[in-house]
A and B are shown apart, each in its own frame.
Chain A
Amino acid sequence: MIRLEHISKQYDARGKASGPLALDDVSLTVADGEIFGIIGHSGAGKSTLLRSINLLERPTSGTVTVDGVELTKLTQGGLQQQRRKIGMIFQHFNLLSSATVFDNIAFPLQLAHTTKEKVQAKVDDLIRLVGLEEHRDKYPAQLSGGQKQRVGIARALANDPKVLLCDEATSALDPQTTNAILDLLLDINRKFGITIVLITHEMHVIQAICDRVAVIHAGAIAEQGKVIDVFLKPEHPVTREFILEERNDAELQPWAAFKTQATEHSRVVKINYLGDVTYAPVLHQVLTAAGVGFAILQGTISRMKDVPYGQLVVRLDGEKTAVEQSLLSLRDKGLEVEVIA
């Protein structure tokens, strides 16, 4: 649906021959109907990258293709036509302060010269979709942040876009409102099959709704892949940083801290669960059958979007061969087992 190829962006700097490189040869593909997250610290280039998709920021080099149309080749008029198929929502909502909720949502339709009856019907549908029936004739200044973002979402959907770009859409909202807005985005993605690209600096946003993620650092993509893979096996230090920030549970000990638990008759292992197996009583069944006792030393069980996952540190007590056998059986059942000591 979206294909960015070798995008570089260099800003003009006064007095210097060339400014800093905001994006350095970035290539990215987003599939139809997917929710793609871009995470990075401020200044990493994620905002420039997102704005390259609808050419609000024109890359210095590289090509942008959305829904089969190469935007970088279009004239100004052609680009305006294509932009109507790409919705966008913003951190600070960017609503017209002089227009009511209704008129804000009607705005993109009026830009496209839609007839009055159609505007009326479409806007009413959208107001219902985002749950603002009561606030139809209010001005943005009379709404809460979450309500403003709902107007922003309704407005972005008015022209039935195929792509929705979210620029830190939840960063100005409190945690509860953030979750409500994320749910709404997920709902829209499922209902209309709309492709969503979002940028954020918060891992939990990625974790809540994204299918795939790209970690951007210093204008380049440090790492990308399925959210669950990147989250469970981060390769780049920046990715690890984001994940650690997110967990913010200082009481979680590094795995190595449990090495001392190992003795001649017990081993310490780390077990990774992924998918449905997380909720199956695998550990109990396998170890009971093998005659191995166990103690859980530390653990996390959670979900990422729809996928359950878990990470446990377990001490296995028993005969050496029985323990070895049980490790094999656990791996057979689809668990990932790593011996720590």
Chain B
Amino acid sequence: MKLDFSTVNWEEVSTATTDTLTMMLFSVLFTFIIGLPLGVLLYLTGKSNRAAAKPVYAVVSFIVNILRSVPFVILMIAIIPLTRIIIGTSIGVEGTIPPLVIAAAPFFARLVETSLREVDRGVIEAAQAMGASTWQIVRKVLLPEAMPGLIAGTTITAVTLVTYTAMSGMIGGGGLGDLAIRYGYHRYEFEVMIVSIVVMVLLVQVLQWIGDALVRKFTRK
């Protein structure tokens, strides 16, 4: 088989790349906005001795586990009615963002919970001894101390989201994955598929590189 890259429609590749980037950036943004407080909630209710905390943890943890155990392809289709309510459409770049966020936020929340648990118990105790409120401890102790872990978690989530966007082609979501399936799988135009894969690999490499650089910058230990 001879590959001929001159047949590749570069304009379409460029549009697909932009779509993937848009889906990824917005879904990372909303995942962060929803997942961070959720992770903090899991952390706080998970270790609290208060009577009210246990049922809260149990419920939130259960929902998170359910969302994490449904494969993304199925979740994406299952929540189409919900997506319609939120965005007004269930197709295109906009229509893909809600399922991406709903799939990634619980995953990110668990990563946040784990990073917060890594924070030295003694430092939290010291803050309590200084008269810090729970909110002050979260904002001024837990989040800054867990910063490298949170950045690493965000990087992992962003990379995962890139691969999720590829599946969104199935519901007409657009992007590089969609392009690869349409040309490579349905039309046997392997050149486009190869180009799509290369762009996605590059995208993941760049994300990881940025994430690692930020982790290094914020690590003080």
Bound CA span A112–B132, Å: 8
A139 adjacent to B123 (CB under 8 Å): no
Which interface class (under 10, 10 to 19, 20 to 34, 35 or more) fits B? 20 to 34
With A56-B125, A88-B126, A90-B126 known to touch, is A98 a contact of B132 (CB < 8 Å)? no
What chain B residues lie within 8 Å of A98 (beta carbons)? 144-145, 147, 218, 220
Q: Does B128 contact A (CB under 8 A)?
A: yes
Q: How many A-B residue pairs have CB under 8 A?
A: 67
Nearest B residue (CB) for A77: B133
What chain A residues lie within 8 Å of B130 (beta carbons)? 83-84, 88, 107-108, 111, 155, 159
B136 adjacent to A111 (CB under 8 Å): yes
Q: Does B141 contact A (CB under 8 A)?
A: yes
Taken residue by residue from 136 to 157, chain B's Cβ proximity to chain A (1 for < 8 Å, 0 otherwise) reads as: 1000110011010000000000
With A54-B129, A83-B131 known to touch, is A94 a contact of B120 (CB < 8 Å)? yes
Q: Does A110 contact B (CB under 8 A)?
A: yes
Q: Does A288 contact B (CB under 8 A)?
A: no
Bound CA span A140–B219, Å: 12
Q: Does A301 contact B (CB under 8 A)?
A: no
Q: Does A80 contact B (CB under 8 A)?
A: yes
With A98-B145, A99-B144 known to touch, is A112 a contact of B220 (CB < 8 Å)? no
With A80-B132, A83-B130 known to touch, is A97 a contact of B140 (CB < 8 Å)? no
What chain B residues lie within 8 Å of A88 (beta carbons)? 126, 129-130
What chain A residues lie within 8 Å of B141 (beta carbons)? 96
What chain B residues lie within 8 Å of A94 (beta carbons)? 120, 122-123, 125-126
A197 CB to nearest B CB, Å = 13
B131 adjacent to A111 (CB under 8 Å): yes
Taken residue by residue from 19 to 45, chain B's Cβ proximity to chain A (1 for < 8 Å, 0 otherwise) reads as: 000000000000000000000000000
Q: Does A82 contact B (CB under 8 A)?
A: yes
Q: Does A29 contact B (CB under 8 A)?
A: no
Q: Does A86 contact B (CB under 8 A)?
A: yes
Bound CA span A159–B120, Å: 23
Bound CA span A90–B124, Å: 12
Q: Does B221 contact A (CB under 8 A)?
A: yes
Chain B interface SS verdict (over half): helix
Q: Does A92 contact B (CB under 8 A)?
A: yes
A96 adjacent to B133 (CB under 8 Å): no
Chain A interface SS verdict (over half): mixed
What chain A residues lie within 8 Å of B220 (beta carbons)? 97-98, 139-141
Bound CA span A88–B102, Å: 44
A111 adjacent to B145 (CB under 8 Å): no
B139 CB to nearest A CB, Å = 11
Nearest B residue (CB) for A99: B144
Q: Among the interface residues A94, A96, A98, A111, which one has the most CB atoms of the partner chain B within 10 A?
A: A98
What chain A residues lie within 8 Å of B123 (beta carbons)? 94-97
Nearest B residue (CB) for A88: B129
B32 CB to nearest A CB, Å = 19
Nearest B residue (CB) for A80: B131
Q: Does A81 contact B (CB under 8 A)?
A: yes
B140 adjacent to A81 (CB under 8 Å): no
Q: Among the interface residues A77, A80, A96, which one has the most CB atoms of the partner chain B within 10 A?
A: A96
What chain B residues lie within 8 Å of A140 (beta carbons)? 220
What chain A residues lie within 8 Å of B129 (beta carbons)? 54, 56, 83, 86, 88, 165
What chain A residues lie within 8 Å of B120 (beta carbons)? 94, 97
What chain B residues lie within 8 Å of A86 (beta carbons)? 129
Nearest A residue (CB) for B146: A98
What chain B residues lie within 8 Å of A92 (beta carbons)? 122
Nearest B residue (CB) for A89: B126
B132 adjacent to A111 (CB under 8 Å): yes
Of residues 91 through 149 on chain A, the ones whose CB sits less than 8 Å from some CB of chain B are: 92, 94-99, 107-108, 110-112, 139-141
B132 CB to nearest A CB, Å = 5
Interface contacts beyond A80-B132, A80-B133, A139-B220: sample of 10 additional A-B pairs, CB < 8 Å, sorted by A = A56-B129, A81-B131, A86-B129, A92-B122, A97-B145, A97-B221, A98-B145, A98-B218, A107-B127, A111-B130
Q: Can you list 26 residue pairs at the A/B interface with Cβ under 8 Å?
A: A56-B129, A83-B131, A86-B129, A90-B125, A92-B122, A94-B123, A94-B125, A94-B126, A96-B141, A97-B120, A97-B145, A97-B221, A98-B220, A99-B144, A107-B127, A107-B140, A108-B130, A108-B131, A111-B127, A111-B131, A112-B131, A139-B220, A141-B220, A141-B221, A155-B130, A159-B130
Residues of A within 8 A of B (CB): 54, 56, 77, 79-84, 86, 88, 90, 92, 94-99, 107-108, 110-112, 139-141, 155, 159, 165
The 8 closest A-B pairs by CB, nearest first: A83-B131, A94-B126, A94-B122, A84-B131, A80-B131, A88-B129, A108-B130, A98-B144
